[in-house]
Structure 1
Amino acid sequence: IADVHVATWRAAYPGMLPDRVLLGLSPERERAYWRHAIATQGCVGFVHVAEDESGGIAGYGSAGPARASGLGFAGEVYTLYVAPDHQGRGLGRGLLHAMFARLRREGRNSALIWVLAANPARYFYHAMGGMPAAQRRERHFGALLDEAAYGWADLSAVSGARERAKRHV
């Protein structure tokens, strides 16, 4: 997970995050963070991973209860990253659907995800049926960053569409 985190941030966020943040990313620090977060289930809710052909981690996502109240969403996708050399193969779509299914099993029938507004990958969420839900400006790493939320008001509709598509393939 740590290696995917570092690789995706370095590939996705140049020009959006301060260079010192990207250059300062450390797989060792990220490994320690994820070991602790998964062991204590602290601040991550749950984690799903996608494996490559050799059993290595090619992508991951985490989700759980929505952290922001007042937006009308019960669940939140906290992270969704696919290693740059594994993008375009449907892993992100599969991870997102798996997290939606888990949120539904937990009784969370709606969800949102926050993404940097300047990140062109945000349109993936629109293509996945997410609708613009909110905007905010937050301070991260000493910089004010604009964020956009995409939301799914009914996760059962997302799952139903996926099942219908599977039957027609």
Structure 2
Amino acid sequence: MVHVREMAGADIEAVSAIRVRGWQAAYAGIVPQTYLDAMTVEGDAGQRRRLFSQPHRTSRDLVALGDRGPVGWVCFGPCRSEMSGPGRAGEVYALYVSPDLIGKGIGRRLLGEAHALMKSQGFKVSALWVLRDNQRARRFYERAGYQADGAVQDDVYDEITLTELRYRRVL
């Protein structure tokens, strides 16, 4: 069983380990291996500290705690892209679970908590971006009520262009 709470500064190293290991597991065969191999927990933690310490940040971070400490993380806030539809839009910026615990309901729990908090903040819709080739993540989000809305964007990783699809759901 996991407990979800607001992320604290003391969680940054653990969250960075979850994020880096999550990328390396989820994106193997999708993102160039050279890019994945270059990722480090230390580098990610430095970036995360800078983001976390911004005085006027609008994002929120939650961690899922298991018997070994943080085992999952979600970050969300106002939607960063223009989106038509009913009311204000929120966005799930990132959701990662320790790779050895995927399929245990931790991601579903974190996403549910993020949805509840977005709704309490007045957001009517949640959006997120997912790599087109990440079939596992796409199935997860579709089971959570998200649908691709036709918007796409490209990201470049080590000179390889990968397409992301925007998904959305009503809160």
**Per the shorter chain, which TM-score range?**
0.7 to 0.9
Among candidates 12, 20, 24, match of residue 6 of structure 1: 20
Question: Does the residue aligned with 2:71 lie in a helix, a strand or coil?
Answer: strand
Unmatched segments (≥5 aa) in structure 1: 156-169
Asked if the contact 2:83–2:89 (Cα under 8 Å) also holds between the matched residues in 1, the reply is: no
Is 2:53 aligned against 1:36? Answer: no
Shift of 1:43: 6.4
- The TM-score, its normalising length taken from structure 2, stands at 0.83
C-alpha separation between the residues in 1 aligned to 2:134 and 2:58? 22
**Cα 1:89–1:41 shift into 2, 3 Å:** farther
Asked if the contact 1:44–1:62 (Cα under 8 Å) also holds between the matched residues in 2, the reply is: no
**Cα 1:44–1:17 shift into 2, 3 Å:** farther
Asked if the contact 1:137–1:144 (Cα under 8 Å) also holds between the matched residues in 2, the reply is: no
Shift of 1:40: 1.2
- 2:162 aligns with 145
C-alpha separation between the residues in 2 aligned to 1:106 and 1:28? 33
Count of aligned pairs between the two proteins: 153
Unmatched segments (≥5 aa) in structure 2: 1-14
Among candidates 29, 37, 40, match of residue 23 of structure 1: 37
- 2:143 aligns with 127
- 2:152 aligns with 136
Tell me: higher relative CO, structure 1 or 2? Use CA pairs within 8 A at least 6 residues apart. Answer: 2
C-alpha separation between the residues in 2 aligned to 1:130 and 1:46? 20
Is 2:56 aligned against 1:79? Answer: no
- The TM-score, its normalising length taken from structure 1, stands at 0.84
